[in-house]
């Protein structure tokens, strides 16, 4: 393989974390510079040229519009740089699925874009960061990686942005795919795809907006206070996602409040607080009558990202919105 050139965009997270003192637990994310990480990759003898840019040095719980806008811009700029083969984004794991999905929905699938993080800081015993980073570089420089949309590389596996979710708080094997499992297995020296690219020549599905509207998540639980819906609407929510029980359920008074929100022009998507499974239309709840959208395979954080983009793109018809939640 020739020396591919990879654009590396750093945002922070545990992959750049330090301070655990080898065996300690406490550490600060975003401490290791991207230049230090690139130097380690060079020292490993991996045949790649890394062009690094620091976008931020934060824990991904603090990521938001400024960083997303910069990432999107920086990736789009590589479209006109024929020498750049792919893009690697270093990112905290807490919200990696949100950033990956947001970019996946708004970028053409021309060059591989790979998000990577770590569960253990750089100076911890058994740190997974440099291995994950080397794996991400392995994916981004692979000739067969383009046309698969944005991907997340963690724990020697490659996931599609639409499938990936963080499923464990501390274990290095922290990520899962739903409804699909991984797209492939990767190590620093090997890469096995389980099938051909499914998004070859795909253009951006939704336009990158000037800003993202406020969309809030309503967490459902037994005995919940239905007043939370009005509180969110009064706080400026322009869309709501229900993190419902089971198949996207909520107590009757909450469903009433959500249906009232729909009638006042605020779209509502029903998702589930359950880790895996579909939320389909019109099973226990009459979505057609109440005007809800069903999140299908998307969990609440991803349903929120998609709803934000749909609102920002001026899409408000329920059938049209549902079609976007049905697609993958």
Among 6, 8, 9, 14, binds ligand GLU (CB under 6 A): 14
Q: Binding of ligand GLU at residue 93 (CB under 6 A)?
A: yes
Quote the least distance from Cβ 179 to ligand GLU, whole Å: 24
Residues whose CB falls within 8 Å of the CB of residue 241, separated by 6 or more in sequence, listed in order: 215, 216, 217, 218, 268, 269, 271, 295, 300, 303, 304, 307
Among 9, 90, 92, 124, binds ligand GLU (CB under 6 A): 92
Quote the least distance from Cβ 126 to ligand GLU, whole Å: 14
Distance of CA 10 to the CA centre of its chain: 15
Strands (E), 175-291: 175-177, 184-187, 190-193, 215-219, 239-244, 268-272
Helix axes 65-78, 96-106, angle to 10 degrees: 50
Q: Binding of ligand GLU at residue 61 (CB under 6 A)?
A: yes
Per-residue x/- marks for ligand GLU, 115-154, CB under 6 A?
--x-x-----------------------------------
Any catalytic annotation for residue 110? Answer: no
Q: For residues 36 and 86, what is the distance between their CA atoms, to the nearest angstrom?
A: 20
Quote the least distance from Cβ 39 to ligand GLU, whole Å: 21
DSSP three-state, residue 309: helix
Among 29, 112, 182, 188, binds ligand GLU (CB under 6 A): 29
DSSP three-state, residue 48: strand
Q: Binding of ligand GLU at residue 300 (CB under 6 A)?
A: no
Q: Are strands 150-154 and 157-160 parallel, antiparallel or unpaired?
A: antiparallel
Look-up of token digits 């990936």? 164
Q: Among 14, 93, 95, 99, which one carries the catalytic annotation?
A: 14
Which one, 94 or 287, has the nearer CB to ligand GLU?
94
Q: Which tokens in the block code for residue 235? A: 């706080």
Q: Report the residue number whose CB is nearest to ligand GLU.
A: 92
Window contacting ligand GLU (CB under 6 A); options: 53-61, 78-86, 150-158, 191-199: 53-61
CB 108 within 8 A of CB 202: yes
Quote the least distance from Cβ 117 to ligand GLU, whole Å: 5
Active-site residues, by number, are 14
- Residues interacting with ligand GLU, by CB under 6 A? 13-14, 29, 59-61, 92-94, 117, 119
């Amino acid at each position: 393989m020739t020396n591919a050139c990879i654009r590396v965009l750093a945002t922070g997270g545990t992959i750049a974390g330090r301070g655990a003192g080898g065996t300690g637990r406490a550490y600060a994310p975003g401490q290791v510079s991207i230049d230090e990480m690139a130097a380690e990759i060079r020292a490993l003898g991996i045949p790649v040229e890394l062009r690094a840019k620091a976008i931020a040095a934060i824990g991904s719980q603090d990521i938001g519009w400024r960083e997303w806008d910069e990432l999107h811009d920086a990736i789009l700029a590589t479209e006109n740089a024929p020498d750049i083969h792919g893009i690697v984004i270093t990112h905290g794991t807490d919200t990696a699925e949100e950033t990956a999905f947001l970019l996946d929905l708004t970028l053409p699938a021309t060059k591989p874009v790979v998000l990577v993080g770590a569960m253990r800081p750089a100076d911890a015993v058994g740190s997974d960061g440099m291995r994950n980073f080397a794996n991400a570089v392995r994916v981004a420089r692979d000739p067969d990686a383009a046309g698969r949309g944005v991907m997340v590389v963690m724990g020697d596996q490659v996931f599609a942005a639409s499938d990936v979710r963080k499923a464990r708080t501390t274990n290095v094997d922290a990520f899962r795919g739903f409804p699909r499992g991984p797209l492939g297995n990767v190590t620093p020296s090997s890469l096995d795809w389980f099938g051909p690219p499914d998004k070859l020549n795909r253009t951006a599905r939704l336009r990158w907006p000037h800003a993202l509207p406020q969309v809030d998540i309503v967490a459902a639980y037994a005995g919940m206070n239905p007043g939370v819906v009005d509180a969110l609407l009064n706080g400026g929510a322009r869309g709501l996602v229900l993190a419902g029980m089971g198949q996207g359920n909520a107590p009757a008074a909450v469903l009433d409040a959500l249906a009232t929100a729909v009638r006042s022009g605020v779209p509502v998507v029903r998702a589930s607080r359950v880790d895996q499974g579909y939320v389909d239309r019109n099973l226990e709840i009459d979505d057609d009558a109440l005007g809800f959208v069903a999140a299908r395979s998307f969990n609440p954080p991803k349903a929120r990202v998609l709803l934000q983009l749909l609102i920002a793109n001026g899409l408000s018809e329920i059938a049209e919105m549902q079609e976007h939640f049905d697609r993958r």
